[in-house]
Amino acid sequence: MVSSDQLIEIAKRRGFFWQGSAIYGSLAGFFDYAHLGVFLKRRWETLWRKYFLGLDENYYEIQPSLIMHENVFKASGHLESFADPVAKCGKCGNAERADHILEDVLKENFEGVSVEDLLNLIKKHGIKCGKCKGEITEVRQFNMMFPLKLGVGKQEKTGYLTGETAQGAYVNFKQMFEVCRKKLPLGLAIIGKAFRNEIAPRNALIRMRELTQAELQIFFDPDTIEEHPNFKDVENYKLQLFPFSNRQSNKIEELTCKQAVEKLKLPKFYVYHLAKVQQFYLDVLKLPREKFRFKQLSDEEKAFYNKFHWDMELNLDSLGGWKEIGGVHYRTDHDLKGHQKTSSQSMEISLEGKKVLPHVLELSFGVDRNLYSLLELAYTEEKDRTVLKFPRAVSPFDAGIFPLVNKDGLQEKAKQVQQLLEEHGFVVFYDDGGSIGRRYRRIDEIGVAAGLTIDYDSLKQDDATIRDRDSMKQIRVKIKDLPQILRKFLQGEELEKLKS
């Protein structure tokens, strides 16, 4: 079982991520991505874009500003209610997140519990300050928004760093509808930063103050929520579901999409997108089915405006079990109605002769949390090596290219192979340092799926050896066939079936 300390150590040593401002003692909740982390992040984001924007021809990516008008967050409710409960020590003044203190001690979830009840529970169980063991005397709500002063003098205004990427989609909806064929559903995707002044950031990339989200906001006619034109394609597809009613038994139910509609009274439009999200994790990222589930949130846990709310969770040993990595939220018309009221501008549209205030289905993903999860699920300790068995589609590099020795023209041949693969769009790197075994171990530990070796036979036969990171098996392939063979391998085909 891997620990979070082991993951953070290998991430730092190999160049995935580490704490920001490290030479000045670091800042809690801020992380810098190193070169391999950037490669991994880009791969994940590219796959996400291709998959989710491909669900409908009327889905588009936009890039709103990270700093937005104060009224945006008045309308959304962030200035009033984007808050977490903070517990304060009466002796030393240390502040910690109240629900997390209880969660750590009692191993239960306390999201949505009132500040009064949190303080009573802390007192009832005799929980003391984590720093000085003093008495916790106060629990209050703490707003997590980051305000900014814009301009100077009489022109000075207050703006805010966006606490979620979603508001950029809502304030731009009406204009996007006008320029994008005036039809629903309209999907607006955003991959961008969000900023939250977390009380107690923890667990590396899991709870941060500066984070990356990937979200698809789907605007649709509420009259159509009981249908989806492609529901037939998924009606027999089995979902991994953890309904609220199963909290005591802790049982995951496998229900077909059709059964989920009938048994759980979920609309087809919602269930269709549950299926598509699960397929992204299981079919695109190739994550183990038993590690994934949708968890239903209770009325107390979910935001009041979410009519349906199921989180995507992955079972992460380093963090003690199931952790949220995203969610599927039916936000109704809450957001557009709020902006319509605050801005005094109508958010209604005309659709086939009727006035419609669209509803929103939100597919929300914590990118950093997903990357931490990929790192854990990939981490494998074997007898003679530590290897990151990333899904091939998200490996930081497609291949490493190695001359067996640094003489007799092998380096030049290896450079030719590198150029050939780069011309075909592969992300590869060249390494001629140390023994071939040591070079294999290096790429194993950073998760590169394929190693290509140029040896003396390569000069005679114009071929190369491909080594599979996971099985360590090898085959020889003609260099002219390498682009085709490598692409098939990265798409999931077994190496031994690709012999030329």
Give me the pLDDT at residue 200, please. 82
* Cα distance between residue 247 and residue 242, in whole Å: 8
User: By the 8 A CB rule, do 444 and 383 touch?
Assistant: no
378's tokens? 């990939």
**SS3 (DSSP) at 74:** helix
> Percent helix, strand and coil across the chain, each rounded to 5?
40, 30, 35
User: By the 8 A CB rule, do 442 and 431 touch?
Assistant: yes
Give me the pLDDT at residue 5, please. 93
Look up residue 123 and give its amino acid.
K
Residue intervals in the chain for CATH 3.40.50.800: 397-498
Give me the pLDDT at residue 83, please. 87
Give me the pLDDT at residue 130, please. 84
Q: Given CA atoms 194, 361, 373, 398 in this order, what sign does their dihedral have?
A: negative
Could you give the C-alpha distances from 420 to 43, 247, 408, 424, 453, in angstroms and in order?
A: 21, 54, 20, 7, 14
Give me the pLDDT at residue 113, please. 87
* Cα distance between residue 208 and residue 222, in whole Å: 34
Q: What is the DSSP letter of 365?
A: E
Residue intervals in the chain for CATH 3.30.930.10: 4-79+146-378
* List of the chain residues with pLDDT < 70: 500
Give me the pLDDT at residue 82, please. 84
Name which of 268, 236, 281 is nearest 377 in CA terms.
Answer: 281
The pTM assigned to this predicted structure is 0.92
Cis, bond preceding 403 (omega within 30 deg of 0): no
User: Would you say domain 397-498 falls under CATH 3.40.50.800?
Assistant: yes
Give me the pLDDT at residue 500, please. 59
**SS3 (DSSP) at 466:** strand
Q: Tell me the per-residue pLDDT of 241-266, one tens digit each, with 9 for 90 and over.
A: 999 999 999 999 999 999 999 999 99
* Cα distance between residue 53 and residue 50, in whole Å: 6
* Cα distance between residue 64 and residue 172, in whole Å: 8
Give me the pLDDT at residue 80, please. 84
Give me the pLDDT at residue 244, please. 94
Q: Domain 4-79+146-378 is in which class?
A: alpha beta
Maximum Cα–Cα distance across the chain: 79
